[in-house]
Each structure stands twice: as structure tokens, then as C-alpha cells.
Amino acid sequence: MGKINIKSIAAALNLSPATVSRALNDSYEIREETKQRVLAYAAKHNYRPNPFAKHLKTGKTNLIGVVIPFLSSPFFLEFIDELYKLAMLHHYTLLPFQTQNREEIEKEALDFLIRQNVAGIIISPAFENSNTALLRDIHHQYCPVILFDRIQHDLNTYKIGIHNSLETFKATEELIKKGRTRIAFLCGKDIGNTKDRIRGYKNALHNYGIPFQKEYVIDADYQDPTEDIDSELKEVFKKLQASNHMPNAIVGGTDTLSIKILGVLADLDLRVPDDVAVIGFTNTNLADYLNPALSTIRQPTQQMAQLTLDLLIPLIEKQQNRQGMVYENFLLEATTCYRKSTDI
């Protein structure tokens, strides 16, 4: 069987390519009977439009760019995974990119996506307000951009995330209720969510009359989850031990840190949860196998992916002035799973 395209269909049905195209695109200016005849023939011969030709003509693709800090983080991995399943249903193809939390790489990725003529972009920015101007240009003039997870960003668009301060509040509160008062908060560099999470942590302390101590907010300034953050963290906790300020509970503010801290504490011969209770933000289904099983605040990745596409696809398909729109923020609810690391 030869190549099956609009021209060959037209020839077979004694129609012009234009008419066939109209039938295929559900145009109104075509006779119902003709349309059905074309559709039937196309279906029978399993016709698939050539996406490249289509794009060359229309300037539009079915590509969705996905820009995330890294895949080697359970949360982002799960999110992308869900996105894949859904995008396929809608006949969109995903083009995922990693930024390693670096603005230059993010810019490269965005440039690349533009050249690929993506129809839309889903992004969790490298950090708060990274590439703001570029993203704004893209969103206004080029294709819709939607933010997820790291939604503390000036770009005016739909934002999908969780209520970071509330979730951190709940986690901190849980530790307080278990009788812990020297609670440390572990955070990475400023990726936008950090501020809110610290706020939730502080609020919980304040609500229960526990004085906030600056030294209990511990930064680990990594760019990449594969980096050696362990020794850095170990130093910090050694110092706290030495000055007799060792916390008896820790809230892990990022996916990566929540996992790594367990090894650090073990190295310092601190027992979890007896000496130090730990709860962390993370989506890994490995939490059960960690040492010990880790209590986690789990983001609803499936729901986030669904909502993201539900918002993006209409933006792609309806032509409109995105600059003037009013966008909503969506804060979904996370699930807290209490495991051994907080089982006091």
C-alpha cells in the first residue's frame, strides 16, 4: 500500500485536496455526505496527518515542553510520569528538560523548546523568578506557560502547587504534639517554596509558644540531588551537638534533604526517632525502606498533572490574549504519612 495522505485520498475519491482537508478538519463549509465519505475512507486506510507538514503550514505543534529541575527527585519523576499518561490521551507529545536548578540551563531549555515550536510549556522554575522576563515574553507572545510546584514566581499565569506553609505547619505541629520542642528545619537554596515552608514552620512554633531559633533553620545549598550534601550537613549537626544545641526533631523541607538526613544522623550515632524525630517532604515510595521508614508529606502528583493539563490544553487550543487574563492559583492538599521516623 502506497503512502496515504490528503492527495492520495483526494485522488481516490475524485475530490480536490482542499475538500479532503476540510472534511478532515471538520469544516462547516462542506456537504455532510462528502465529509462522511472522506472520513470513512481515511479511517479505513488508517490515515494519519503528517504532523510536520501540518506544523509547517499552521505554525502549531502538538508538543508540550516540560521544564523541571531534575528527574532524580521522586516528586518530579512521579509528576512527569502522570503527565505522560494524560498527554498521550490528548494526543500531545511531551518534551521534558532538566535545569539542574540553574538559570542558564533553564534558558537553554526554553530556547530549545521555542525552536521546537512547542504548543505550551509546563515549568517548575530553577528558582524564584528565574528567567522571569523570558517566561513572560514566551507566555504573552509565543505559547501558554503554566507553573507547578515552585509557584512563587512573578509570571502571571495558572499556578498549581500545594499549600506549603500549611503543610509544613501541620508537620511541625505533629512533632510538637509528640513532645518535641527543639525542632530544626532543613531547607535547600531558595527555590520559591522555601519561604512558605519556613513560614509554616515558624507559625507552628509560635502557636505553641516555642521560641524560634535562627540556628535551627539549616540551609544546604545544593544544586543537584547527586551532589555530596552529606558531609556539609554532618558538619552542621556536629557543631550543634558540640554546642549542646542538638535538635530532637527535624522537618525536611525538600525531597532530597529528607532522604539524606537519615544517613547523616546514623553517622552521628543518633537514633531516629528516639533521639531525633524526622518528617520530610517527599514522594518516594521508598520511604518504607529507608532507615528508618520515613514519615512523609506527599504531594498529589496525579491530581497535579491532571489539573495542569486541564488548564493548559484550553489555553493552547483557544486563541486569546493571555496577557490580559485573570489566573487562579490552585493549592492542592498533600497527604501526610506517619511512619517510624516520627513514631515516638
Partner DNA sequence: TTGTATGCGTTATCAT
Partner DNA sequence: ATGATAACGCATACAA
Residues lying near its own copies in the complex (CB under 8 A) are found at 48, 50-53, 55-56, 61, 71-72, 77-78, 80-81, 84, 93, 95-98, 115-117, 226, 259-260, 262-263, 284-286, 288-293
The DSSP code sequence of 221-249 is --SSTTS--HHHHHHHHHHHHHTT---SE
Q: For residues 74 and 69, give the distance between their C-alpha atoms in angstroms, rounded to a whole number.
A: 12
Do residues 83 and 308 lie in contact, with contact meaning Cβ atoms separated by under 8 Å? yes
Decide whether 50 or 323 has the Cβ nearer to DNA.
Answer: 50
Instruction: Indicate which of DNA, its own copies, none lies near residue 154 (CB less than 5 to 8 Å, by partner kind).
Output: none
Question: Which among DNA, its own copies, none contacts residue 93 (Cβ within 5 to 8 A by kind)?
Answer: its own copies
Contact set for DNA, span 36-55 (CB under 7 A): 49-50, 53-54
Smaller CB separation from its own copies, 100 or 129 = 100
Question: Could you say which DSSP state residue 139 is in?
Answer: I
> Would you say 24 or 236 has its CB closer to DNA?
24
Return the one option of its own copies, DNA, none that residue 293 interacts with (CB less than 5 to 8 A, by type): its own copies
Fill in the per-residue mask, 57 to 86: x = in contact with DNA (CB under 7 A), - = not in contact. Answer: xx----------------------------
Residue 319 Cβ vs DNA, minimum distance, rounded to whole Å: 11
Task: Count other Cβ atoms within 10 Å, centred on residue 264.
Answer: 21
Write the binding mask 5 to 24 for DNA: x where contact by CB under 7 A, - elsewhere: xxx------xxxxxx-xx-x
Using the rule CB under 7 A, give the single segment among 25-33, 112-120, 144-152, 281-289 that binds DNA. 25-33
Distance separating alpha carbons of residues 265 and 263, to the nearest angstrom? 5
Nearer to its own copies, 145 or 293 (CB): 293
207 binds, among its own copies, DNA, none (CB under 5 to 8 A by kind): none
Residue 22 CB, nearest approach to DNA (Å): 6
Of the pair 9, 205, the CB lying nearest its own copies is at 9
Question: In sequence order, what DSSP letters do the residues of 77-114 get, joined into one string?
Answer: HHHHHHHHHHHHHTT-EEEEEE-TT-HHHHHHHHHHHH
Q: Quick one: which of 11, 12, 25, 208 contacts DNA (CB under 7 A)?
A: 25
Q: Which does 18 bind (CB under 5 to 8 A by kind): its own copies, DNA, none?
A: DNA
Which contacts of 105-113 are long-range, i.e. CB under 8 A and separated by 24 or more positions?
Answer: 106/67, 106/130, 106/131, 107/131, 107/134, 109/65, 109/67, 110/65, 110/67, 110/134, 110/135, 110/138, 113/63, 113/65, 113/67
Residue 155: strand, helix, or coil: coil
Binding residues (CB under 7 A) for DNA: these are 3, 5-7, 14-19, 21-22, 24-25, 28-31, 33-35, 49-50, 53-54, 56-58
